[in-house]
Amino acid sequence: MNPSVQTVGSLEVAPYLHPQGCRTYVVFDPASKEALLVDPHLDLVRAAHEHVTGDGLTVRWIVDTHTHADHPSGAAPLAQELRATRVAHKEARHTGVTHLPDDEEPLALGDQQVVVRHAPGHTPDHLVLVSDGALFSGDSLFIGGVARTDFLGGDAGQLFDSIHQLMMTLDDETVLYPGHDYAEQTASTIGAERATNPWVRIGDRDQFIKSLTANPPPEPANMAALLRFNKEASDIPLFIDAEETVRLVNEGGAGTVIDVREQEEIEAAHIPGSRHIPMHEVLDRADEVRKTPAPRLLLCKIGQRAAMVQHALAGLGIAGLSVIDGGIMAYVQAGGETAGGDLGAALDAGGCCAAAPPEAE
């Protein structure tokens, strides 16, 4: 189902809301039907493709506002499918990007245009897009918040400058479309953020830097793998070996493991911190899968059920799924630690004769 289309100035905007809090935007000129995609999430590739083709849009540009560290970009596959031009800042150095715009360079959509502005702070390569009446702020300015700056070369002082010297110079009525929102909000305005956003209201640059850098949150799960995927436009593998899984779990990635076995198997032995979604419930709980940071690692006893789940979820457009080859048996043999009462029972239980989840409707 396509999202509600909003008219902002001379362009129309369709915001896609991902359960992880990520935002993807289809921006188009209704007269020429030329479109631009902003920060497409890999899970939303199929939905965005169906939207633009169903509405007869021609996608000219696909923009990653920055190098994403918390989710996989769908820019590369969409650009190939739609024969569109990928856009990113030259500092991003993304494989396959062919247009590296200068600051204040316009991207044409028919007779309209969207202007690219360099807005470093969250990352050195961060861009924002300004159109007639709208700001697509990526991961710089959020509704009621701002970006973190403690990794990937971020700089709190640069973020302050980007906000106050660029974004806060726009008209109060300018609609703000952020790259993330964790409270299911779609849009705000520059005026509203100027009046209520506690970070924007800190007018002293030194105080802003001190406050923003005081208590950095944990790094995103699987950040190294995501950065490699997003920079190199490489594929997230369909299978991952047990040794690599052990390494990722030991580095704090247990929360990206989705265990599709039955409850009694989980109780016997499981990876501490992993997410449990039994195979027969996985389609009904697909949003829980979407909320799991990619690459998402699917686990069962030996890998067969996990592969079935991978196929079923692909029918919903969910990507970034890797089956742990050999399942929990291989994981234990590779030295992975488990919790639970009886590892032997876990390996004996759960045959592989279960039917796959039904096809997605």
Mean pLDDT per block of 10 residues along the chain (361 residues) reads 86 94 96 98 94 96 96 95 97 95 97 97 97 96 95 95 98 97 88 96 96 87 86 91 94 94 93 96 96 94 95 94 96 93 58 49 56
Closest CA to 22 of 229, 288, 291: 291
Q: Which of 143, 178, 212 is the last residue of a domain?
A: 212
Pairing of strands 321-324, 188-189: unpaired
Examine the domain organization and report whether 106 and 250 are in the same domain. no
pLDDT at 361: 56
Examine the domain organization and report whether 125 and 172 are in the same domain. yes
Residues in the chain: 361
Examine the domain organization and report whether 191 and 330 are in the same domain. no
Examine the domain organization and report whether 38 and 181 are in the same domain. yes
Give the total number of structural domains in the chain.
2
> Has residue 147 been placed in a domain?
yes
> Has residue 225 been placed in a domain?
no
pLDDT at 235: 85
Examine the domain organization and report whether 286 and 187 are in the same domain. no
> Has residue 291 been placed in a domain?
yes
Examine the domain organization and report whether 202 and 126 are in the same domain. yes
Q: Which of 149, 177, 212 is the last residue of a domain?
A: 212
> Has residue 178 been placed in a domain?
yes
Q: Are 286 and 315 in contact (CB under 8 A)?
A: no
Q: Which of 166, 196, 212 is the last residue of a domain?
A: 212
Give me the CATH number covering residue 304.
3.40.250.10
pLDDT at 354: 43
pLDDT at 307: 96
> Has residue 241 been placed in a domain?
yes
Q: Secondary structure of the chain in the HEC alphabet?
A: CCCCCEEECCEEEEEEECCCCEEEEEEECCCCCEEEEECCEHHHHHHHHHHHHHCCCEEEEEECCCCCCCCCECHHHHHHHHCCEEECCHHHCCCCCCECCCCCEEEEECCEEEEEEECCCCCCCCEEEEECCEEEEECCEECCEECCCCCCCCCHHHHHHHHHHCHHHCCCCCEEEECECCCCCCCEEHHHHHHHCCCCCCCCHHHHHHHHCCCCCCCCCCHHHHHHHHHHCCCCCCEECHHHHHHHHHHHHHHHEEECCCHHHHHHCECCCCEECCHHHCCCCHHHHHHCCCCEEEECCCCHHHHHHHHHHHCCCCCCEEEECCHHHHHHHCCCCCECCCHHHHHHCCCCCCCCCCCCC
pLDDT at 225: 85
Examine the domain organization and report whether 164 and 292 are in the same domain. no
Examine the domain organization and report whether 192 and 92 are in the same domain. yes
Find the domain containing 273 and state its range: 236-348
Examine the domain organization and report whether 265 and 329 are in the same domain. yes
> Has residue 169 been placed in a domain?
yes
Whole-model pTM: value is 0.88
Give me the CATH number covering residue 195.
3.60.15.10
> Has residue 206 been placed in a domain?
yes
> Has residue 227 been placed in a domain?
no
Examine the domain organization and report whether 69 and 133 are in the same domain. yes
Examine the domain organization and report whether 17 and 155 are in the same domain. yes
Examine the domain organization and report whether 99 and 207 are in the same domain. yes
pLDDT at 343: 62
